[in-house]
Amino acid sequence: MGFNNDRKFYNIINGEKRSAEKTHRVTDPRTEELLWEVPVATTQELDEAVAAATKAFQSWRWTSISERQAVLDKIVQVIEENAAELADIARKETGKSLLMGQIEIGNTTRQIKVIASQAPQDHVQHEDSEVKILATHQPLGVVAAICPWNFPVILSTIKIASALITGNCVIIKPSPFTPYAVLKLVELCQAVVPPGVFQGLNGGADLGAFMTTHEKIAKVSFTGTAATGKKIMAACAPTLKRLTLELAGNDAAIVCPDVDLAQAVEQTATGSFFNAGQMCVATKRVYVHEDIYDAFLCKFKAEVKEKYRIVDDGDVPSVFGPVSNKLQFDTVERMLADAKERGLEMESFEQSVPEKGYWIPATIVSDAPEDALVVKEEQFGPIIPILRWRDEKEVLARVNLDNAGLGAAVYSRDIAYAENIARKIEAGSVYINKFEIPNENAFFSGFKSSGLGGELGKQGLLSYCYTQSIHISKVSPY
């Protein structure tokens, strides 16, 4: 599985492709080959991009919603026309299979269409005999979008489409672990977007930090770890930037004793091992009622053994894959070492792992204590603890950790009971009888340490706007 060596990648500033003196190359997580060279943007280039965006904003902000929708339609077209190339690039940099690359690009276009259809419209907030009060939504200005590596394209296009449809200009900074597909997308879109409206710069924490302090950037939309989110919030304070933080979660699934075992096992296993657990709302702890614990565990092991095996050849369809980078690989290894040291019962079903690549076999840890790393921290990798619960109050206390505010799932035949439990879970999205996955029609946000504000759905788009109230007197002499 070689890679197309001829591809070139650029930072995109004011509609132009820019190379740079400083470049880096990402390691393919499947093969450990070095991928393409990619330019690293300087702070001077960030200034140039911000200046171009500020200028472009003066006209882009006054375009109508339908004009912006037309541009987003063209972006969708560009992605569809280049889907094969984008999927191939995304799978190489993340280590995903081709199938997963295709899923990501396919979901991206669907998501942009939904976001484009949900632009906030003016509405009457109040009217009586004396006054009519309108709500109108105005763009903020230049938005910096700072993104993670696990689903580089789709997580970027949430921010891109949300910023553009609300009349903002956007500068996207992908993760330095996965810069390629996003920069290629920005490059391809220059044919359909006015210069300065949509730009892309590659860089690491230092470039991100400059974005958060830049005086002419109005908003930062960030997706990543809670530790970085806290730094960003502090850095944004002096310039009072608008801020959205989509952070980590330690999502729990509660499995009630009345479930259809086969369905609950299938869904919790998908939640745990889809993309090898590298999903913000992946199932990260499974709490199974003690009455069915042994039967569940047995079936869960059989499911994982059958469906979540290492498939070395990325052309073979699989939703499981390697850990996407060495840094994350080491984090998951530390959790495994902690579990081993504690003598916890662990099971994986691989006889051997490929010599090359950041592979960790799907691993099930049973009856782990709450203070084991694999329970108390987000794994973001293919290792899942299966825990026992007895009564509702006790399980909710264990589920509602401070770092578990993003997602959760409840499995029960009794939907009213499951919904009641869902309301007691302190997380932004709770899924009943299905594994956790964002839906672009629904607001997506983290409670507590899992975020600040949110994205998607009509509510998410409001975080890209100032809402202005216009009070029109009906009793004035005019």
Catalytic residues, by residue number, are 246, 280
List, in sequence order, every residue forming a beta bridge with 11; answer none if it has no partner: 18
Beta strands 169-173 and 198-200: pairing type?
A: parallel
Q: Is 260 helix (H, G, I), strand (E, B) or coil?
A: coil
Task: Pick the closer one to ligand NAD by CB: 6 or 206.
Answer: 206
Specify the amino acid at residue 12: I
Q: How far is the CB of 327 from ligand NAD (least distance, A)?
A: 7
Q: CA nearest 273: which of 364, 345, 344?
A: 364
Q: Which two tokens stand for residue 248?
A: 């980590």
Q: Which two tokens stand for residue 384?
A: 């899942």
Q: How far is the CB of 336 from ligand NAD (least distance, A)?
A: 18
Q: Which residues bind ligand NAD (CB under 6 A)?
A: 146-150, 155, 173, 175-176, 204-205, 208-209, 212, 223-225, 228, 231-232, 246-249, 280, 378, 380, 406, 446, 451
Q: How far is the CB of 236 from ligand NAD (least distance, A)?
A: 10
Phi-psi map region of 269: left, alpha, beta (phi>0 left; psi -120 to 50 alpha): alpha
Task: Pick the closer one to ligand NAD by CB: 45 or 246.
Answer: 246
Task: Pick the closer one to ligand NAD by CB: 104 or 303.
Answer: 104
Q: Which two tokens stand for residue 216?
A: 């002419």
Q: Is 224 helix (H, G, I), strand (E, B) or coil?
A: coil
Residue nearest to ligand NAD (CB): 208
Specify the amino acid at residue 96: K
Distance CA 407, CA 63 (A): 36
Task: Pick the closer one to ligand NAD by CB: 326 or 474.
Answer: 326
Sign of the torsion angle spanned by Cα atoms 433, 434, 438, 439: negative
Q: How far is the CB of 319 from ligand NAD (least distance, A)?
A: 17
Task: Pick the closer one to ligand NAD by CB: 164 or 323.
Answer: 323
Q: CA nearest 372: which of 390, 410, 405, 345?
A: 345
Question: How many beta carbons lie within 10 A of that of residue 225, not counting itself?
Answer: 14
Task: Pick the closer one to ligand NAD by CB: 280 or 297.
Answer: 280
Q: Is 353 helix (H, G, I), strand (E, B) or coil?
A: coil
- Alpha-carbon Rg of the chain, whole angstroms? 23
